[in-house]
Structure 1
C-alpha cells in the first residue's frame, strides 16, 4: 500500500470513528446522560482532529508545485465525502443535544 493510500485510509477511519462517537452521544441523550453525551462529543472532536490533519497533509501535497500531483481516485473522493458527512453529523447531533437538554430543563 502506498503512502497516499495509507493517508486516505487513515482519513476514512478517523472520520468513521468521529461519526460513531457522535452517534453514541446521541444515544446517551435518549437515556438522559448529558454528561456522557458531552464526553463522547469531545472524543468525536478529538478524533476529528486526526482526520483533519490527514486531509490537510493531502491538500498541502497537492498544492506543492514541486511535488507530484495527487491523483484523484474514487477512494480519495470517498474519503473526503466520509469526512465531510462525519463533521455534518457531529454538528447536527451537538445541536440536537442542546435542544433536548433545554427542553428537559437541563444545564
Structure 2
C-alpha cells in the first residue's frame, strides 16, 4: 500500500462525507424541483472535486503500487464517510 494512494483515499473519504452531509439539508417535500436542482449541483461539484483528487490515486493504481480493492476497503472504513452519512440522517430529520 503506497502512502500517496492512502492520502488520496483519505481526502476522497472526507469529500464523500461532506457531500453526504450537505445532501441532508435538501428538503424535497417543500419544493421538489429546487431540491433536485440543489442535489444535481452538489453532485456536479463533488464529481469535479473527486476527479481532481483522484488523479494521484489513478496514477498509483496504474503503476501497480495500489489496488482498487484496497481503495474500496479504505473508503468504506473511512470515518468521514460514516460521519457524513450519520450527519445526513440527523440533518434530514431535524431540518
TM-score, normalised via structure 2 length: 0.52
Which of the pair has the greater relative contact order for Cα pairs under 8 Å at 6+ separation?
2
C-alpha distance in 1 between matches for 2:75 and 2:9: 9
C-alpha distance in 2 between matches for 1:79 and 1:15: 13
Q: Name the residue aligned to 2:40.
A: 41
Q: Name the residue aligned to 1:69.
A: 65
- Secondary structure of 2:11 counterpart: helix
Structure 2 unmatched runs, 5+: 82-95
Residues 42-80 of structure 1 deviation map (CA, whole Å, 9 limit, x = unaligned): 02320232123333431222213xxx6126675x22355
Deviation at 1:37, TM superposition (A): 4.3
Alignment length, in residue pairs? 76
Q: Name the residue aligned to 2:29.
A: 30
TM-score, normalised via structure 1 length: 0.48
Q: Name the residue aligned to 1:53.
A: 52
Q: CA RMSD in A?
A: 3.3
Q: Which of 1 and 2 has greater Rg? A: 1
